[in-house]
Protein backbone atom coordinates (compact mmCIF):
# COMPACT_ATOMS: atom_id res chain seq x y z
CA UNK A 1 0.00 0.00 0.00
CA UNK A 2 1.31 3.46 -0.89
CA UNK A 3 2.07 6.29 1.51
CA UNK A 4 2.94 9.93 0.93
CA UNK A 5 5.96 11.35 2.77
CA UNK A 6 6.08 15.11 3.40
CA UNK A 7 8.89 17.16 4.93
CA UNK A 8 8.25 20.76 5.91
CA UNK A 9 10.88 22.80 4.06
CA UNK A 10 9.72 26.40 4.04
CA UNK A 11 7.96 28.73 1.59
CA UNK A 12 6.44 27.51 -1.67
CA UNK A 13 6.55 29.10 -5.11
CA UNK A 14 5.31 28.19 -8.56
CA UNK A 15 2.29 27.63 -10.79
CA UNK A 16 -0.21 24.81 -10.38
CA UNK A 17 -2.78 23.86 -13.06
CA UNK A 18 -6.22 23.12 -11.61
CA UNK A 19 -8.08 20.19 -13.13
CA UNK A 20 -11.69 19.88 -14.18
CA UNK A 21 -14.08 19.29 -11.29
CA UNK A 22 -14.45 15.71 -10.10
CA UNK A 23 -17.95 16.37 -8.76
CA UNK A 24 -19.00 18.02 -12.02
CA UNK A 25 -17.57 15.29 -14.25
CA UNK A 26 -19.17 12.52 -12.20
CA UNK A 27 -22.52 14.26 -12.74
CA UNK A 28 -22.00 14.98 -16.42
CA UNK A 29 -21.02 11.41 -17.28
CA UNK A 30 -24.43 9.84 -16.39
CA UNK A 31 -26.09 12.47 -18.59
CA UNK A 32 -25.00 10.31 -21.54
CA UNK A 33 -27.75 7.86 -20.50
CA UNK A 34 -30.35 10.48 -21.49
CA UNK A 35 -29.49 10.35 -25.20
CA UNK A 36 -28.67 7.90 -27.95
CA UNK A 37 -26.21 10.42 -29.41
CA UNK A 38 -22.55 10.88 -28.30
CA UNK A 39 -21.55 13.12 -25.39
CA UNK A 40 -17.96 14.40 -25.30
CA UNK A 41 -16.52 15.91 -22.13
CA UNK A 42 -13.30 17.94 -22.32
CA UNK A 43 -11.13 19.13 -19.39
CA UNK A 44 -11.92 15.87 -17.60
CA UNK A 45 -9.94 15.08 -14.43
CA UNK A 46 -7.83 11.92 -14.36
CA UNK A 47 -9.03 10.22 -11.19
CA UNK A 48 -9.95 6.77 -9.91
CA UNK A 49 -13.55 7.92 -9.37
CA UNK A 50 -13.80 8.74 -13.09
CA UNK A 51 -12.65 5.20 -13.88
CA UNK A 52 -15.28 3.83 -11.49
CA UNK A 53 -18.06 5.82 -13.15
CA UNK A 54 -16.78 4.70 -16.57
CA UNK A 55 -16.96 1.08 -15.44
CA UNK A 56 -20.49 1.57 -14.14
CA UNK A 57 -21.70 3.15 -17.38
CA UNK A 58 -20.01 0.42 -19.43
CA UNK A 59 -21.73 -2.22 -17.30
CA UNK A 60 -25.04 -0.70 -18.40
CA UNK A 61 -24.09 -0.90 -22.07
CA UNK A 62 -22.62 2.55 -22.63
CA UNK A 63 -19.36 3.04 -24.51
CA UNK A 64 -16.69 5.17 -22.79
CA UNK A 65 -13.39 6.11 -24.41
CA UNK A 66 -10.62 8.02 -22.66
CA UNK A 67 -8.76 10.26 -25.11
CA UNK A 68 -5.87 12.75 -24.98
CA UNK A 69 -4.28 11.17 -21.91
CA UNK A 70 -7.63 11.05 -20.14
CA UNK A 71 -8.47 14.73 -20.53
CA UNK A 72 -11.29 13.95 -22.99
CA UNK A 73 -14.08 11.44 -22.39
CA UNK A 74 -16.14 10.24 -25.35
CA UNK A 75 -19.39 8.61 -24.22
CA UNK A 76 -22.19 6.95 -26.14
CA UNK A 77 -25.34 5.30 -24.81
CA UNK A 78 -26.99 4.24 -28.05
CA UNK A 79 -27.25 0.65 -26.85
CA UNK A 80 -28.19 0.45 -23.16
CA UNK A 81 -28.82 -3.26 -22.64
CA UNK A 82 -28.72 -3.52 -18.84
CA UNK A 83 -30.77 -1.64 -16.25
CA UNK A 84 -29.06 -2.96 -13.10
CA UNK A 85 -26.35 -0.87 -11.43
CA UNK A 86 -24.50 -3.57 -9.54
CA UNK A 87 -23.39 -3.31 -5.92
CA UNK A 88 -19.80 -4.32 -6.69
CA UNK A 89 -19.32 -1.10 -8.69
CA UNK A 90 -21.75 1.24 -6.95
CA UNK A 91 -20.35 0.52 -3.46
CA UNK A 92 -17.07 2.20 -4.42
CA UNK A 93 -18.51 5.66 -4.98
CA UNK A 94 -21.41 7.78 -3.75
CA UNK A 95 -21.96 9.49 -7.13
CA UNK A 96 -23.02 6.15 -8.65
CA UNK A 97 -26.58 6.92 -7.57
CA UNK A 98 -26.73 9.55 -10.34
CA UNK A 99 -27.57 6.89 -12.93
CA UNK A 100 -31.00 6.42 -11.31
CA UNK A 101 -32.71 9.56 -12.66
CA UNK A 102 -31.41 9.28 -16.25
CA UNK A 103 -32.25 5.56 -16.50
CA UNK A 104 -35.77 6.11 -15.19
CA UNK A 105 -36.29 8.99 -17.59
CA UNK A 106 -35.10 7.23 -20.73
CA UNK A 107 -35.78 3.54 -20.03
CA UNK A 108 -38.70 3.81 -17.61
CA UNK A 109 -37.10 1.43 -15.13
CA UNK A 110 -33.88 0.91 -13.17
CA UNK A 111 -32.43 -1.23 -10.39
CA UNK A 112 -29.66 0.61 -8.56
CA UNK A 113 -27.68 -0.55 -5.56
CA UNK A 114 -27.49 1.78 -2.59
CA UNK A 115 -24.19 3.65 -2.98
CA UNK A 116 -20.93 3.72 -1.06
CA UNK A 117 -18.01 6.15 -0.88
CA UNK A 118 -16.29 7.96 1.96
CA UNK A 119 -17.44 7.15 5.50
CA UNK A 120 -18.48 10.70 6.38
CA UNK A 121 -22.14 10.22 7.13
CA UNK A 122 -25.18 8.33 5.98
CA UNK A 123 -26.12 10.64 3.09
CA UNK A 124 -29.39 8.74 2.54
CA UNK A 125 -31.25 8.39 -0.76
CA UNK A 126 -34.61 9.49 0.64
CA UNK A 127 -34.37 12.96 -0.97
CA UNK A 128 -33.75 11.42 -4.41
CA UNK A 129 -36.58 8.92 -3.94
CA UNK A 130 -39.12 11.54 -2.81
CA UNK A 131 -38.42 13.73 -5.84
CA UNK A 132 -38.67 10.88 -8.33
CA UNK A 133 -41.83 9.56 -6.67
CA UNK A 134 -43.36 13.02 -7.03
CA UNK A 135 -42.75 12.59 -10.77
CA UNK A 136 -44.68 9.31 -10.80
CA UNK A 137 -41.95 6.75 -10.14
CA UNK A 138 -42.62 3.71 -7.97
CA UNK A 139 -39.54 2.85 -5.92
CA UNK A 140 -39.04 -0.06 -3.55
CA UNK A 141 -35.96 -1.12 -1.58
CA UNK A 142 -35.17 -4.83 -1.86
CA UNK A 143 -32.01 -6.47 -0.54
CA UNK A 144 -29.94 -3.29 -0.81
CA UNK A 145 -31.21 -2.31 -4.26
CA UNK A 146 -33.64 0.41 -5.28
CA UNK A 147 -36.16 -1.08 -7.73
CA UNK A 148 -37.64 1.84 -9.66
CA UNK A 149 -40.26 1.94 -12.40
CA UNK A 150 -42.08 4.77 -14.12
CA UNK A 151 -45.20 3.28 -15.68
CA UNK A 152 -46.00 5.37 -18.73
CA UNK A 153 -42.93 7.54 -18.15
CA UNK A 154 -42.09 10.26 -15.66
CA UNK A 155 -44.41 13.24 -15.38
CA UNK A 156 -43.65 16.83 -14.52
CA UNK A 157 -44.32 17.86 -10.91
CA UNK A 158 -43.77 20.61 -8.39
CA UNK A 159 -41.48 19.33 -5.63
CA UNK A 160 -39.56 20.94 -2.78
CA UNK A 161 -36.46 19.27 -1.44
CA UNK A 162 -36.36 18.94 2.33
CA UNK A 163 -32.68 19.81 2.16
CA UNK A 164 -30.78 21.52 -0.67
CA UNK A 165 -29.02 18.29 -1.65
CA UNK A 166 -26.60 18.48 -4.56
CA UNK A 167 -27.09 14.85 -5.60
CA UNK A 168 -30.88 14.96 -5.33
CA UNK A 169 -30.96 18.18 -7.36
CA UNK A 170 -28.79 16.63 -10.07
CA UNK A 171 -30.78 13.38 -10.22
CA UNK A 172 -34.10 15.24 -10.37
CA UNK A 173 -33.01 17.74 -13.02
CA UNK A 174 -31.68 14.99 -15.29
CA UNK A 175 -34.82 12.91 -14.84
CA UNK A 176 -37.08 15.89 -15.54
CA UNK A 177 -35.47 16.66 -18.91
CA UNK A 178 -37.38 13.76 -20.50
CA UNK A 179 -40.48 13.85 -18.28
CA UNK A 180 -43.86 14.78 -19.73
CA UNK A 181 -44.73 18.35 -18.79
CA UNK A 182 -43.05 20.88 -16.53
CA UNK A 183 -41.13 20.14 -13.34
CA UNK A 184 -40.47 22.85 -10.77
CA UNK A 185 -37.80 21.90 -8.23
CA UNK A 186 -37.78 24.12 -5.14
CA UNK A 187 -35.01 24.44 -2.54
CA UNK A 188 -32.62 23.22 -5.21
CA UNK A 189 -28.89 23.24 -4.58
CA UNK A 190 -27.01 26.07 -6.29
CA UNK A 191 -23.45 24.73 -6.63
CA UNK A 192 -21.35 25.61 -9.71
CA UNK A 193 -21.31 21.91 -10.60
CA UNK A 194 -25.12 22.00 -10.97
CA UNK A 195 -24.89 25.11 -13.13
CA UNK A 196 -22.32 23.26 -15.25
CA UNK A 197 -24.64 20.26 -15.58
CA UNK A 198 -27.52 22.47 -16.72
CA UNK A 199 -25.30 24.18 -19.30
CA UNK A 200 -24.40 20.75 -20.70
CA UNK A 201 -28.01 19.53 -20.69
CA UNK A 202 -29.08 22.72 -22.47
CA UNK A 203 -26.52 22.00 -25.21
CA UNK A 204 -28.17 18.57 -25.48
CA UNK A 205 -31.53 20.23 -26.11
CA UNK A 206 -32.99 20.36 -22.60
CA UNK A 207 -35.23 23.28 -21.64
CA UNK A 208 -34.14 24.43 -18.19
CA UNK A 209 -34.26 27.76 -16.36
CA UNK A 210 -33.13 28.94 -12.95
CA UNK A 211 -29.83 27.13 -12.48
CA UNK A 212 -27.79 28.79 -9.74
CA UNK A 213 -30.96 29.74 -7.88
CA UNK A 214 -33.09 27.80 -5.40
CA UNK A 215 -35.86 27.19 -7.98
CA UNK A 216 -35.13 25.29 -11.18
CA UNK A 217 -37.81 24.85 -13.85
CA UNK A 218 -37.50 22.04 -16.41
CA UNK A 219 -39.79 21.67 -19.41
CA UNK A 220 -39.59 18.05 -20.53
CA UNK A 221 -38.71 17.27 -24.15
CA UNK A 222 -39.16 14.11 -26.20
CA UNK A 223 -35.46 13.45 -26.78
CA UNK A 224 -32.01 14.89 -26.18
CA UNK A 225 -29.16 15.10 -28.68
CA UNK A 226 -25.40 14.79 -28.27
CA UNK A 227 -23.03 17.60 -27.30
CA UNK A 228 -19.46 18.57 -26.47
CA UNK A 229 -18.90 20.25 -23.12
CA UNK A 230 -15.86 21.37 -21.04
CA UNK A 231 -15.91 20.36 -17.37
CA UNK A 232 -15.84 23.36 -15.01
CA UNK A 233 -12.74 24.02 -12.86
CA UNK A 234 -12.54 21.96 -9.65
CA UNK A 235 -13.15 24.49 -6.89
CA UNK A 236 -12.27 21.98 -4.14
CA UNK A 237 -8.89 21.14 -5.68
CA UNK A 238 -8.44 24.88 -6.16
CA UNK A 239 -9.18 25.66 -2.51
CA UNK A 240 -6.96 22.82 -1.30
CA UNK A 241 -3.92 24.11 -3.18
CA UNK A 242 -4.68 27.71 -2.20
CA UNK A 243 -4.05 26.61 1.39
CA UNK A 244 -0.52 25.37 0.62
CA UNK A 245 1.18 28.80 0.54
CA UNK A 246 -1.11 29.91 3.37
CA UNK A 247 0.26 27.11 5.57
CA UNK A 248 3.88 26.98 4.38
CA UNK A 249 4.39 30.57 3.26
CA UNK A 250 5.41 31.76 -0.17
CA UNK A 251 3.38 32.69 -3.25
CA UNK A 252 1.65 30.34 -5.67
CA UNK A 253 -0.43 30.92 -8.81
CA UNK A 254 -3.36 28.52 -9.37
CA UNK A 255 -4.01 28.34 -13.11
CA UNK A 256 -7.69 28.36 -14.03
CA UNK A 257 -8.86 29.53 -10.60
CA UNK A 258 -11.59 32.13 -10.11
CA UNK A 259 -12.66 33.86 -6.90
CA UNK A 260 -16.37 33.52 -7.75
CA UNK A 261 -16.06 29.73 -7.44
CA UNK A 262 -15.04 30.09 -3.78
CA UNK A 263 -16.20 33.51 -2.57
CA UNK A 264 -17.01 32.45 1.03
CA UNK A 265 -13.74 30.53 1.31
CA UNK A 266 -11.74 33.49 -0.02
CA UNK A 267 -13.38 35.78 2.55
CA UNK A 268 -12.16 33.48 5.34
CA UNK A 269 -8.66 33.39 3.87
CA UNK A 270 -8.58 37.19 3.76
CA UNK A 271 -9.63 37.36 7.42
CA UNK A 272 -6.92 34.82 8.28
CA UNK A 273 -4.24 36.99 6.69
CA UNK A 274 -3.97 35.43 3.23
CA UNK A 275 -4.18 37.51 0.05
CA UNK A 276 -5.97 36.17 -3.03
CA UNK A 277 -5.54 38.11 -6.28
CA UNK A 278 -7.06 37.32 -9.66
CA UNK A 279 -4.77 37.29 -12.68
CA UNK A 280 -5.35 36.64 -16.37
CA UNK A 281 -4.36 33.02 -15.80
CA UNK A 282 -5.98 32.33 -12.43
CA UNK A 283 -5.35 33.24 -8.78
CA UNK A 284 -2.20 34.26 -6.91
CA UNK A 285 -2.22 33.30 -3.22
CA UNK A 286 0.25 34.51 -0.59
CA UNK A 287 0.44 35.25 3.13
CA UNK A 288 0.05 38.94 4.02
CA UNK A 289 2.41 38.64 6.99
CA UNK A 290 4.23 36.15 9.20
CA UNK A 291 1.18 35.05 11.21
CA UNK A 292 -2.07 33.34 10.28
CA UNK A 293 -5.00 34.66 12.30
CA UNK A 294 -7.62 32.33 13.74
CA UNK A 295 -11.05 32.45 12.08
CA UNK A 296 -14.32 30.67 12.82
CA UNK A 297 -15.90 28.51 10.11
CA UNK A 298 -19.40 27.12 9.67
CA UNK A 299 -19.90 24.77 6.72
CA UNK A 300 -23.02 25.50 4.69
CA UNK A 301 -24.60 24.66 1.37
CA UNK A 302 -23.38 26.76 -1.54
CA UNK A 303 -22.67 29.69 -1.60
CA UNK A 304 -21.52 29.17 2.01
CA UNK A 305 -18.21 27.68 3.15
CA UNK A 306 -17.79 24.25 1.49
CA UNK A 307 -17.83 21.17 3.71
CA UNK A 308 -15.24 19.68 1.32
CA UNK A 309 -12.71 22.32 2.46
CA UNK A 310 -13.35 22.02 6.19
CA UNK A 311 -10.60 19.46 6.88
CA UNK A 312 -8.04 21.47 4.91
CA UNK A 313 -9.04 24.70 6.68
CA UNK A 314 -8.62 22.95 10.04
CA UNK A 315 -5.03 22.15 9.08
CA UNK A 316 -4.40 25.86 8.53
CA UNK A 317 -5.98 26.78 11.86
CA UNK A 318 -3.72 24.33 13.72
CA UNK A 319 -0.85 26.85 13.63
CA UNK A 320 -2.94 30.04 13.61
CA UNK A 321 -2.58 32.77 16.22
CA UNK A 322 -5.53 32.26 18.60
CA UNK A 323 -8.50 29.91 18.88
CA UNK A 324 -10.84 29.00 16.05
CA UNK A 325 -14.16 27.16 16.05
CA UNK A 326 -15.16 24.99 13.09
CA UNK A 327 -18.77 23.85 12.96
CA UNK A 328 -19.77 21.08 10.53
CA UNK A 329 -23.41 21.40 9.47
CA UNK A 330 -23.50 19.32 6.29
CA UNK A 331 -22.24 15.84 7.22
CA UNK A 332 -22.02 14.07 10.53
CA UNK A 333 -18.82 12.22 11.42
CA UNK A 334 -16.60 14.53 9.38
CA UNK A 335 -13.96 15.32 11.99
CA UNK A 336 -12.14 11.99 11.69
CA UNK A 337 -9.01 13.86 10.61
CA UNK A 338 -8.83 15.67 13.98
CA UNK A 339 -7.23 12.75 15.90
CA UNK A 340 -4.61 12.44 13.17
CA UNK A 341 -3.79 16.16 13.38
CA UNK A 342 -3.57 15.79 17.16
CA UNK A 343 -0.89 13.13 16.58
CA UNK A 344 1.08 15.92 14.91
CA UNK A 345 0.81 18.15 17.96
CA UNK A 346 -2.38 20.04 17.14
CA UNK A 347 -4.62 21.21 19.99
CA UNK A 348 -8.14 20.22 18.91
CA UNK A 349 -11.24 19.47 20.96
CA UNK A 350 -14.21 17.91 19.16
CA UNK A 351 -17.66 17.98 20.68
CA UNK A 352 -20.29 16.61 18.31
CA UNK A 353 -20.32 18.75 15.19
CA UNK A 354 -18.04 21.45 16.62
CA UNK A 355 -14.24 21.44 16.71
CA UNK A 356 -12.30 24.00 18.74
CA UNK A 357 -8.73 24.51 17.53
CA UNK A 358 -6.12 26.34 19.61
CA UNK A 359 -3.20 27.27 17.41
CA UNK A 360 0.28 25.97 18.25
CA UNK A 361 3.60 27.43 17.10
CA UNK A 362 4.63 24.40 15.11
CA UNK A 363 3.32 20.94 14.27
CA UNK A 364 5.53 17.85 14.53
CA UNK A 365 5.92 15.25 11.81
CA UNK A 366 4.28 11.90 12.56
CA UNK A 367 2.80 8.78 10.98
CA UNK A 368 -0.85 9.52 10.27
CA UNK A 369 -3.70 7.82 8.41
CA UNK A 370 -6.05 9.32 5.85
CA UNK A 371 -9.69 8.64 6.78
CA UNK A 372 -11.39 10.07 3.70
CA UNK A 373 -10.68 11.98 0.49
CA UNK A 374 -10.45 15.52 1.87
CA UNK A 375 -8.83 14.47 5.14
CA UNK A 376 -5.96 12.97 3.15
CA UNK A 377 -5.06 16.38 1.70
CA UNK A 378 -5.48 18.10 5.08
CA UNK A 379 -2.75 15.83 6.45
CA UNK A 380 -0.43 16.58 3.52
CA UNK A 381 -1.01 20.29 4.10
CA UNK A 382 -0.29 19.89 7.81
CA UNK A 383 2.95 18.13 6.89
CA UNK A 384 4.06 21.26 5.04
CA UNK A 385 3.89 23.16 8.35
CA UNK A 386 5.47 20.45 10.50
CA UNK A 387 8.98 19.88 11.78
CA UNK A 388 10.43 16.65 10.47
CA UNK A 389 8.78 13.96 8.39
CA UNK A 390 5.07 13.24 8.06
CA UNK A 391 4.02 9.91 6.59
CA UNK A 392 0.41 9.75 5.37
CA UNK A 393 -0.92 6.22 4.84
CA UNK A 394 -4.10 5.00 3.07
CA UNK A 395 -3.57 7.56 0.34
CA UNK A 396 -5.78 5.66 -2.10
CA UNK A 397 -8.40 8.12 -0.86
CA UNK A 398 -6.51 11.02 -2.41
CA UNK A 399 -6.48 9.34 -5.84
CA UNK A 400 -10.26 9.62 -5.91
CA UNK A 401 -10.21 13.42 -6.00
CA UNK A 402 -6.75 14.83 -6.80
CA UNK A 403 -4.84 14.04 -9.99
CA UNK A 404 -1.03 13.97 -9.80
CA UNK A 405 -1.16 15.30 -6.23
CA UNK A 406 2.52 14.63 -5.47
CA UNK A 407 3.67 16.25 -8.72
CA UNK A 408 1.56 19.34 -8.10
CA UNK A 409 2.83 19.85 -4.55
CA UNK A 410 6.38 19.19 -5.74
CA UNK A 411 5.84 21.75 -8.49
CA UNK A 412 5.44 24.37 -5.76
CA UNK A 413 8.71 23.32 -4.17
CA UNK A 414 7.31 21.01 -1.50
CA UNK A 415 9.51 18.14 -0.38
CA UNK A 416 7.10 15.28 -1.02
CA UNK A 417 7.20 11.77 -2.46
CA UNK A 418 5.01 8.73 -2.83
CA UNK A 419 6.45 5.49 -1.53
CA UNK A 420 5.39 1.85 -1.33
CA UNK A 421 5.38 0.29 2.12
Feature table: binding site: 22-23, 94, 123-127, 308, 330
For 80, phi then psi, to 5°, come to -80, 110
Beta carbons of 77 and 32 less than 8 angstroms apart: yes
Q: Are strands 109-113 and 415-420 parallel, antiparallel or unpaired?
A: unpaired
- Which residues make up each annotated binding site for UDP-N-acetyl-alpha-D-glucosamine? 94, 123-127, 308, 330
- Which residues make up each annotated binding site for phosphoenolpyruvate? 22-23
Beta carbons of 329 and 298 less than 8 angstroms apart: yes
CA distance readout (Å), 246 to 85, 169, 188, 291, 392: 42, 34, 33, 10, 20
Beta carbons of 242 and 254 less than 8 angstroms apart: yes
Q: DSSP label at 295?
A: -
- Compute the Cα dihedral for 225, 230, 232, 234 and give only its sign: positive
CA distance readout (Å), 308 to 44, 283, 361: 20, 20, 26
From CA 375, how far away is CA 341, in angstroms rounded?
10
Active site residue 200: no
Catalytic residue among 118, 200, 266, 318: 118
Beta carbons of 370 and 392 less than 8 angstroms apart: yes
| Residue 211: half-sphere exposure toward Cβ, Cα within 13 Å | 21
Give the residue numbers annotated as catalytic, written as ranges: 118
Amino acid sequence: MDSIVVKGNGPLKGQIPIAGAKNACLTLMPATLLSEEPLTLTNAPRLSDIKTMSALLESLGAEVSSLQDGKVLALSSHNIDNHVADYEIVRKMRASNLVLGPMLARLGHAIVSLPGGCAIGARPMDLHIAALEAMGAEIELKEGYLHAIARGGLKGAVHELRFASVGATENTVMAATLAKGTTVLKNAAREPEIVDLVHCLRKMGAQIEGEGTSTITIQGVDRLNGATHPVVTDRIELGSYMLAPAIAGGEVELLGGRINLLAAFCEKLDAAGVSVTETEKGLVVARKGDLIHSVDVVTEVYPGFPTDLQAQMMALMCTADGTSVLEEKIFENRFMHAPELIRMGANIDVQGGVATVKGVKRLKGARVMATDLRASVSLILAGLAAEGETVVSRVYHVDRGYEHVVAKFAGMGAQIERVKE
